Amino acid sequence: MSAAVKETTTADDTRKAKSLDAYIVSGGDFDIATAEAAQQELTDGFHLVIDALKLNGITTIYGVPGIPITDLGRIAQAEGMRVISFRHEQHAGNAAAIAGFLTKKPGICLTVSAPGFLNGLTALANATTNCFPMILISGSSEREIVDLQQGDYEEMDQLAVAKPFCKAAFRVLHAQDIGIAVARAIRAAVSGRPGGVYLDLPAKLFSQAMNAAAGTKSLVKVIDPAPAQLPAPAAVARALDVLKSAKRPLIILGKGAAYAQADDTIRALVEKSGIPYLPMSMAKGLLPDTHPQSAAAARSLVLKEADVVMLIGARLNWLLSHGKGNTWGAPGTQKFIQIDIEPKEMDSNVEIVAPVVGDIGSCVSALLEGVDGTWSAPSVEWISAINARKEANLAKMSSKLMKHSMPMDFHSALGVLRTIIKERPDAILVNEGANTLDLARGVIDMYQPRKRLDVGTWGVMGIGMGFSIAAAVETGKPVLAIEGDSAFGFSGMEVETICRYNLPVCIVVFNNNGIYRGTDINPTGDSDLAPTLFVKDARYDKMIEAFGGVGVHVTTPDELQRAVNAAMDSGRPTLINAAIDPAAGSESGNIGNLNPQSLVRKK
């Protein structure tokens, strides 16, 4: 049977045909009642994949239909699963990844073979880098043809390609192994340090039939997929001793702390210890950003002056200048404590004098028990220095936020959105861009955990619409997506998906006519625009109107405030095109040092 014929044959028809063929071959007398009874005795790969997912509490699939997985989506929907169909696999993968972060269950992304798989691979790699549990399930070409390189439809050894970019990769060749494969994928995705897993399902697997009772027995319900990993008592005691010796201690909360959902325990440790804390962007809201111990507004000071730094679910990667250099104090003047479930993370950039290995909830609970009556609060001098810097920086920022310039700059627009989030703390904020991202991190306060979703560890653009869709689907909460015009371009077509499912997503595009700024010029003087420029004064709001959503164009802070509040109140898919001064941005936002400059100029 050709691939095209297989694609148009429904799974139920396949199952019934195989059942009837088996009955006839067995020599039995043909009658409708007996044939129908025989039909009930078989199941197939389509149904086994769906049953295995449902058995493990997975109820939503994100993906793009096509050969050979179209019927898998259809049957999943018929079996009561929610199937969210995207316009591009990368965005479906991003949705699955952030669903994993929000729920602590692996998000499922379903793609077609070869090019579709490759589109999803970017999201899989990003999920693994960010420690988001996700399973990429892709249909694939038949093994015997792929292995001989005979030129099958979308032929590719997808398993080999996926392995370097995920925690684990599995291929299933026999229907009776589907249950075990799904169980292994789930456990790999959520156990230890979470991440991405690839599951390869060749086309012939789906139509394989087997006895229904045996199929049910082959399914596996994963027991305790992410077991607690208790820290060693000696490691906890060592960390407490280092903390007690500190004169200027600091706690850094990373998105791993947010993922752990140990919110009350983390808050208790921070407040009972009295130690100031610095939240990384996706950890904002674990404690409200307005909490008196927050040192976010004095970031430069605390990183440079702290003598003991305790990392909770945060890594000393580029986002923290690798724990060294001008951002930090002189080498040897700072001691680091690190809580992480992955032992190999310790000493990744600098010496960790007190590694505490285990899951965050267990580690923080153990430390909390040691913060007893003998505990000494941080010095008054340290807290006073932080508060003084906070007040100065907040006062400086306040004047920028209050500007009602025309056209708007980033601060005047973000000042409006800051107020809206304060008034709607339950809303989920999705944020990406260059200046739009970097400035929003500092300007917009968060008040609840896991309400800020952004580009994470890689800083990769294009997560906006996928994250927004999954956040709305998984939580039912309103979503405010703040997008740079460049970042929005990576996933903008998914506004059709948002409209199709009528999701409560309000997108604000900060439109300054280009990447970083809209003022670059082509030095040759010809008709081509500079490579960082877009169409001048583009109307992104018209895009969503084409799909039945609400489009609004705004030029002032007051117009922006009215438009966003109206969108959030209505719950209708809305895109607001916010005109920003083309000259307002800076090169690469706050990470211009990572963008090398040529020292050679040709005459």
Quick check: 320 pLDDT over 90?
Answer: yes
The H-or-E segment that residue 230 falls in is: none
Whether 400 shows a pLDDT value over 60: the answer reads yes
**Sequence-separated (6 or more) residues with CB below 8 Å from residue 383:** 276
353: closest CA among 303, 305, 308, 304?
308
Q: What is the mean pLDDT of residues 265-290?
A: 97
Q: Give domain status of residue 395, yes or no.
A: no
* pLDDT at residue 132 is higher than 70: yes
Q: How confident is the model over 466-490, as pLDDT tens digits?
A: 999 999 999 999 999 999 999 999 9
Cis peptide preceding 249, ω within 30 of 0: no
Residue 344 is assigned to a structural domain of this protein: yes
* Residue 594 or residue 388, greater confidence: 388
Count Cα neighbours of 57 within 13 Å in the Cβ-side half-sphere. Answer: 11
Task: Select the highest-mean-pLDDT range: 22-31, 249-258, 363-372.
Answer: 249-258
Query: Looking at the domain assignment, is residue 598 inside a domain?
Result: no
What pLDDT score does 332 carry? 87
Q: Give how far Cα 595 sits from Cα of 30, 587, 592, Å.
A: 74, 8, 5
Are 572 and 484 in a shared domain?
A: yes
| 3-class DSSP state of 453 | strand
Split into its structural domains, the chain has a count of 3
Domain contains 429: yes
- pLDDT bin (cut points 50, 70, 90) of residue 37 is low
Instruction: For residues 312 and 419, state if they share a domain.
Output: no
Res. 188: pLDDT tops 60: yes
Are 15 and 125 contained in the same domain? Answer: yes
Which residues span the domain enclosing 282?
233-387
pLDDT of amino acid 525: 87
Mean pLDDT computed over 188-197: 98
Confidence of residue 22 (pLDDT cuts 50, 70, 90): very low
Domain assignment present for residue 494? The answer is yes
- pLDDT of 373: 72
Is 397 part of a structural domain of the chain? no
Average pLDDT value for the chain: 92
Does pLDDT of 7 surpass 80? no
- CA pair distance 24, 33, nearest whole angstrom: 14
Is 119 part of a structural domain of the chain?
Answer: yes
Pick the last residue of a domain from 218, 245, 276.
218
pLDDT (mean) for 540-548: 98
| Beta carbons within 10 angstroms of residue 31's beta carbon | 9
- How far apart (Å, rounded) are the C-alpha atoms in residues 603 and 601? 6
Q: φ, ψ for residue 134 (rounded to 5)?
A: -155, 145
Q: Are residues 278 and 239 in the same domain?
A: yes
Q: What is the band of 403 on the pLDDT scale with cuts at 50, 70, 90?
A: confident
Residue 577 has pLDDT above 50, yes or no: yes
Same domain, 39 and 180: yes
Question: Could you say which of 362, 387, 412 is where a domain stops?
Answer: 387
429 and 467 assigned to the same domain = yes
Number of Cβ atoms within 10 Å of the Cβ of 4: 10
Band (147; pLDDT cuts 50, 70, 90): confident
Regarding whether 238 and 214 lie in a shared domain, the answer is no
Q: Are 543 and 507 in contact (CB under 8 A)?
A: no
Query: 328 exposed, middle or buried (CB, 10 Å; 0-12, 13-18, 19+)?
Result: buried
Q: What pLDDT, on a 0 to 100 scale, did the predictor assign at position 386?
A: 98
Percent of the chain with pLDDT over 90: 84
Q: What is the pLDDT of residue 406?
A: 82
Both 200 and 238 in a single domain? no
Given a contact cutoff of 8 angstroms between Cβ atoms, the answer to whether 547 and 522 are in contact is no
Which token pair is 148? 């001989």
H/E stretch holding 172:
none
Separation between Cα atoms, residue 313 and residue 446, nearest integer Å = 18
Instruction: Give the pTM.
Output: 0.92
Exposure string (b/e) for 368-387, b if CB count within 10 Å is 16 or more?
Answer: bebbeeeeeebeeebbebbe
Q: Which residue has the higher pLDDT, 442 or 603?
A: 442
599 domain-assigned: no
pLDDT of residue 92: 98
- Please check the confidence at residue 588 and state whether its pLDDT lies above 80: no
| Cis amide prior to 407 (ω within 30 degrees) | yes
pLDDT band at 456 (very low <50, low <70, confident <90, very high): very high
Element housing 435 (H / E): helix 435-443
Mean pLDDT across the stretch 366-386? 90
CATH of the domain at 279: 3.40.50.1220
Residue 395 has pLDDT above 80, yes or no: yes
Same domain as 182, residue 302: no
Q: Looking at the structure, do residues 432 and 544 belong to the same domain, yes or no?
A: yes
How confident is residue 18, by pLDDT bands cut at 50, 70 and 90? very low
| Helix 32-39 vs helix 11-25: crossing angle, to nearest 10 | 120
Task: Check which CATH number belongs to the domain holding 502 and give it.
Answer: 3.40.50.970
Is 261 in the same domain as 292?
yes
Last residue in a domain, options 387, 418, 448: 387
Average pLDDT over residues 300-319: 97
For the stretch 100-133, what's the b/e string if a residue is b when 16 or more beta carbons lie within 10 angstroms of its beta carbon? bbbbebbbbbbbbbbebbbbbbbbbbbbbbbbbb
> Residue 26 corresponds to which tokens in the numbers above?
């067995």
Tell whether 382 and 406 lie within a shared domain. no
Q: With 60 as the cut, is the pLDDT of residue 11 above it?
A: no
Give residue 31's pLDDT.
57
Distance of alpha carbon 471 from alpha carbon 451, whole angstroms: 9
Tell me, what's the pLDDT at 257?
A: 98
